Structure formats: structure tokens, C-alpha cells
Amino acid sequence: MKLNKNQLENISETLKDFKSLIPRYIEVKNDDNLLKKFCVRNRNPVWDLTSAKYFDTGLISEASKKQPKKNLVSDHYIQRSRATKFIFDELVSNPNITTEEFVKLIKKYCSIVKLTKEEHDMVTTFANKNKEYLNYEIYVACGIKIVGLSDIMLS
């Protein structure tokens, strides 16, 4: 699966927007409250970009294999707000990042897996009570098995 010209343009424009926000990120990154607000405000562009099939890992939970595909829920294995922080940390380290490198960052931090609605509800409930966990860690804690996810995380 490849990204089309329009998708690449959108990613390139988002990268430019994010680069312009680097000074603000640096300003807020050591203040937990302001950092959270910054990441929440800037997570939506990530959501818009990752709706492309390119960012779907194709991985589904074991329970999802027994459900019709129309009943499955897409889930970012790293919450968008948390992924936004990781992306900005990388942008601070490499402010001259290329669009191609940015695509790899988005794929690394913002790709999705499929869960059942019940599993997604379980992840959401757990996440609300355990803010320090990333979604892929919650999958393990809740017994949600996604074959191949660890391979993607390590690549």
C-alpha cells in the first residue's frame, strides 16, 4: 500500500505545521499540564492523516477474528496525544526531518489495529484509570492478543 499524491501533500503540510510549533513545544514540554493541553490540541492532524489505509497494520485481535469486519473498531496502539508528544520529541531532535522520514514516524507511532467494540471499551476504561499506560501495554494487561504487534513495535 502506498500513499497517493494528495495524502503525501497533506502529510507534508502537517509536517510544516508541526515544525512551526517546535518552539512552543519546547516551551511547554517541562510543564505537565501545558504539555498535555498542547498534545491534545495537536493530535487531530494525526487522526486525519492516519485514516489512510497505509497506516492500518492489518492486525486484528484474536477475538476480532470471530466478528464481521464491519463490527470492528480501529484503535491506535499508541494514544494520539501520547504519539503527538513522541513525534514532537523527534522533531526537536531532528528539525530538518523530511516528509519521507515524517511518514515513517507517523507509521511508527500512529498506526492502527482492529479490536472488537468490547475490547475497545475495555481499553478505554483501563486507560482512563491508568494514564501512564500506552494502548499496546493495555492490550497485554487486559489479555487482548494481537499476533504480530510486538514485531511491528520492535521494527
pTM above 0.95, yes or no: no
Task: Give the CA count within 13 Å in the CB-facing half-sphere of 97.
Answer: 28
SS3 (DSSP) at 33: helix
pLDDT, average across residues 97-124:
95
Please check the confidence at residue 48 and state whether its pLDDT lies above 90. Answer: no
Q: What is the pLDDT of residue 35?
A: 98
Domain count, the chain: 1
- pLDDT tens for 62-77 read 999 999 988 899 999 9
Beta-carbon contacts of residue 119 (< 8 Å; ≥ 6 apart)? 61, 63, 64, 73, 142, 144
Percentage of the chain modeled with pLDDT above 70: 100
The boundaries of the domain holding residue 37 are: 5-154
